[in-house]
């Protein structure tokens, strides 16, 4: 099997930074799968639709184009909420499954998301589950938003994040959970370099033994 590194965990736990650095160090392509759900949510909003409507959301997922992932409006509160709604719809998840598997087919990949190690690549040789406390994740997301000029309070970010985490974990379709063979990395008190070094050592060990 081509090397697939599956990275799952809640929002703003440090998955994206870690996944990008791992991909670079290992010479593998990288896919942020959250962008798929964000782009589907955006397509639904573009047409004035309700992201919680299964038929509309599934049609948007089936017509998703790679260029949709490069839209500049995939971040921010509206896209967050729309992504969280479409991600709970089984037909949307099924429509995006092939895209994710195909992405890694040629040369392997590092993918981050919520169900990469449990549903998309259950046989991936290296799986990481990256977490951090809610307070720390909200602080990180608030700093990112502020850097982009989006004014909001930490309390609002934390409240929204708590709600979306609960929705991601409670949904019936591919709920957020660690695969039984995932290496759990709590980054609450780690900086990006420490998280990267720990993850790289684990992933190298797994890939070499696969």
At a CB cut-off of 8 Å and minimum separation 6, what does 53 contact? 44
Interface segment toward ligand DC; rule CB under 6 A; list 47-55, 79-87, 130-138, 181-189: 79-87
Query: How is residue 122 written in tokens?
Result: 């259950």
Per-residue b or e along 97-115, where b marks 16 or more CB atoms closer than 10 Å to that residue's CB: eebbeebbeeebbbbbbbb
Q: How far apart are CA 87 and CA 163, in angstroms?
A: 14
Q: Which of 37, 183, 196, 202 binds ligand DC (CB under 6 A)?
A: 37
Question: Could you say which residues in the range 149-168 bind ligand DC, by CB under 6 A?
Answer: 164, 168
Q: Which of 162, 204, 165 is nearest to 183 (CA)?
A: 204
Interface segment toward ligand DC; rule CB under 6 A; list 34-42, 126-134, 186-194, 196-204: 34-42
Question: Could you say which residues in the range 112-151 bind ligand DC, by CB under 6 A?
Answer: 113-115
83 binds ligand DC (CB under 6 A): yes
* Minimum CB distance to ligand DC smaller for 177 or for 204: 177
Interface segment toward ligand DC; rule CB under 6 A; list 60-68, 81-89, 124-132, 195-203: 81-89
- Strand-pair category, 183-186 with 4-8: unpaired
What does DSSP assign to residue 183? E
18 binds ligand DC (CB under 6 A): no
Interface segment toward ligand DC; rule CB under 6 A; list 108-116, 136-144, 178-186, 190-198: 108-116
Question: Could you say which residues in the range 180-209 bind ligand DC, by CB under 6 A?
Answer: none
Helix, strand, coil percentages (3-state) for the chain, rounded to 5, are 55, 10, 30
* Minimum CB distance to ligand DC smaller for 14 or for 113: 113
At a CB cut-off of 8 Å and minimum separation 6, what does 197 contact? none
Q: Which residues of the shown chain bind ligand DC in the complex (CB under 6 A)?
A: 11, 33-34, 37-38, 83-84, 87, 113-115, 164, 168
């Amino acid at each position: 099997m081509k090397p697939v590194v599956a990275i799952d965990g809640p929002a703003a736990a440090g998955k994206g930074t870690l996944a990008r650095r791992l991909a670079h160090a290992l010479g593998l392509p990288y896919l942020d799968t959250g962008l798929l759900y964000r782009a589907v949510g955006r397509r639904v909003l573009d047409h004035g639709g309700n992201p919680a409507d299964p038929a509309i959301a599934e049609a948007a997922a089936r017509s998703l184009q790679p260029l949709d992932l490069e839209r500049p409006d995939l971040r921010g509160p509206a896209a967050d909420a729309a992504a969280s709604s479409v991600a709970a719809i089984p037909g949307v998840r099924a429509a995006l499954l092939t895209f994710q598997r195909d992405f890694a087919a040629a040369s392997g990949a590092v993918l981050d998301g919520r169900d990469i190690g449990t549903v998309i690549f259950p046989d991936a040789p290296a799986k990481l589950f990256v977490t951090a406390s809610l307070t720390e994740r909200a602080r990180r997301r608030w700093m990112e938003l502020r850097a982009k000029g989006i004014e909001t309070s930490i309390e609002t970010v934390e409240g929204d994040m708590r709600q979306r985490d609960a929705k991601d974990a409670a949904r019936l379709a591919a709920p957020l959970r660690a695969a039984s063979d995932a290496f759990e990395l709590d980054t609450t008190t780690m900086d990006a370099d420490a998280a990267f070094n720990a993850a790289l050592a684990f992933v190298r060990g797994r890939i070499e033994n696969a």
